Chain A
Amino acid sequence: MESKLLPLPEAVRRHTRDGMLYASGAALPIGSDSIVFGRELVRQRRRDLHLVSHCCSQQLNLLAATGAAQRVECGFSALEGFGFAKGLRRAVESGQMLLEDWSNLSMSLRYLGGALGWPFVPATTNVGSDLQHRSAFAPDEYPARRKIPEVTDPFGGKPVGALPPFKPELAAIHVTLADSQGNAIMLGTEWSRWELSRAAQQVVLVADHIVHTDCMQQFPNLVRIPGLIVDAVVHWPFAAWPQGSPGAYDLDEKHMREMNEALASEAGTHAYVERYVLGYRDIDDYLDLIGAETRERLEHGPTRFLLDPFRRWLLGRDAIAELTQAA
């Protein structure tokens, strides 16, 4: 079978466009996310993105700070232990980017609705709160009419919320392990990547490691994203950096802070983009930016053992290059 491995710039060229409804996965604030895909979106100057981001990750923080995202729908808009997302905050408070608020469960339910092809998802969450009544996308409506309209439970008679399903044009999903066919294993919380992979019209995987297909045949129960629904696979080590990837690497505390501080201002964002977005040509350059010592330390975190059962199938860079389609 033909390999789905693509170089990152080519995957972004083929599968993205200005103004698209784009979802990243897992879109966690300190853990899994396809952050390097977001860096490439900025490198290729994609604009006016309507971003679907379960939580705020450093990818959303960057796309907000650089002005690439015009609208965002989000369940959590900060970086957990690293505090407020300063790029997002600047973009929202200045009015440059519209942020529509949901909760983490309602984001997952909306993916599930998209995945199942449902017209709406009945919800017993978000109702009664301002997540239902207030819409940044329809500021003149109070209460908002089309965000989470109420329908009557035909069995119990109480009002329930009708959540609108998501069908993103593209989901770029970070995974720990993928094979060249797009079969993928995620270590750590899956968060919402299973339902997102089914909701999206196109799926590009961004994998920390590429493995031989024998690995997937050894652990088929762990393959929660089968290659059948995947359009392209990108290999990129430390793809979620500065965030962490259980089993593969820890989060980089220093860079988490530096990046967030930089995105707090326009000048800082410009400097950050020069160095950490435009400042590398390829994977080796990127790994140099992180630094050998830092990588070594991050790879020896407390969850390193989670990768052990899979190590015998990890492919080296030469084998991956052979499987990667030419641009």
Chain B
Amino acid sequence: MEYTSQEMMAIAAGREIRDGELAIFGVGLPMLAGFFALAHHAPRARAMTEGGVYGSTPIGGLPWGIECNRISANAVSFTGALDALGCLVGSGRWDVGIIGAAQVDRYGNVNTTGIWRAGLDQHYVVPDVRLTGSGGANDIASGAKRVIVMLAHERKRFAARVDYVSSPGFLEGGKARWRYPFAGGGPSAIVTTLGILRPDARTREFVLYGYYPFTDIEAIRGQTGWELKAAPELAPVPEPSAEELDALRRVDVTGMLRKGSR
């Protein structure tokens, strides 16, 4: 079966969405993974965008944004950010969100704000590379019952500690997250181009839970900036089925995920 590592990542992230759940997906890869899940194994899951665009599916290609005409042509309700990110996500009602990341750390904290090559000390300085900022990801990471983080598995992206916490995971680990009044439970998985990491129930450190057919534990450790432990359940992740690939490619009409090689 021919598929790219990006497609494997999208399918693995999509498998995290269960039928009947209330879901919210960020633009780009998270949207592909999410709509794949709806098209394949979660037809009764219901999705909304950060802009309060309810019930719609993409038309004519991957939406350029959460407010795009491509995601607004078959919606049943238009509201806004306060409703979607506040009333539905921030309140703790929403089951699951998928967000992207530029950098993630051992406690699932996400950085999408900037890269500081020399790190960031007590004095704030402008980043060497300015990234996208939080958008709604901080709100989803704070409020959704569980969050799936998606990103390419590269050493520079997997840091012991992110330069800047744009969206909270388990902060310093252990019970640190529960000092705050977050409605949501934090990240349940980091799904990458090489495998799947999940948090240890006690320390909340992310450990390797699954690896794809085309890679192995040592290769994944080599791309991770902390000493990556193996979960007791560590196992190979099943490769995409023909039905899964077919469903994903119907969602990914422009072939965005097929451009990369593995």
Contact = CB atoms under 8 A, between A and B. Distances in A.
A99 B131 CA distance: 12
B72 A246 contact: yes
Contact of A130 (B52, B113, B137): B113
A131 B166 contact: yes
Contacts of A95: 126
Contact of A190 (B62, B79, B132): B79
Contact of A32 (B67, B134, B165): B67
B68 A129 contact: no
Nearest to B163: A130
B64 A189 contact: no
Contacts of B86: 105, 108-109
Main secondary structure of the interface of A (DSSP, over half): loop
Contact of B64 (A82, A138, A140): A82
Contacts of A108: 80-82, 85-86
B16 interface: no
B68 A130 contact: no
Interface in B146-181: 164-168, 171, 177, 179-181
A318 B78 CA distance: 32
A182 to B, nearest CB: 20
Main secondary structure of the interface of B (DSSP, over half): loop
Contacts, number: 223
A74 interface: yes
A30 B65 contact: yes
A253 B70 CA distance: 13
A302 B59 contact: yes
A313 B130 CA distance: 45
B65 A129 contact: no
A109 B64 contact: no
B135 interface: yes
A303 B135 CA distance: 25
Contact of A126 (B50, B67, B120, B138): B138
Given A93-B130, A124-B142, A136 B81 contact: no
A246 B74 CA distance: 12
Contacts of A251: 64, 68-69
B171 A92 contact: no
A105 B132 contact: no
Given A124-B143, A250-B69, A159 B179 contact: yes
A107 B133 CA distance: 13
A31 B65 contact: yes
Given A31-B51, A190-B78, A195-B82, 12 more contacts: A32-B67, A74-B133, A80-B64, A84-B131, A92-B127, A93-B130, A105-B81, A105-B138, A127-B181, A130-B113, A191-B81, A246-B67
Interface of B: 27-28, 49-53, 59-60, 62-70, 72-73, 78-82, 85-86, 89-90, 109, 113, 120, 122-139, 142-143, 164-168, 171, 177, 179-183
State the 6 A-B residue pairs at the shortest beta-carbon distance, nearest first.
A189-B51, A31-B67, A81-B64, A80-B65, A76-B135, A78-B132
10 contacts: A77-B131, A93-B127, A101-B113, A105-B85, A124-B183, A130-B166, A131-B138, A131-B166, A189-B78, A251-B68
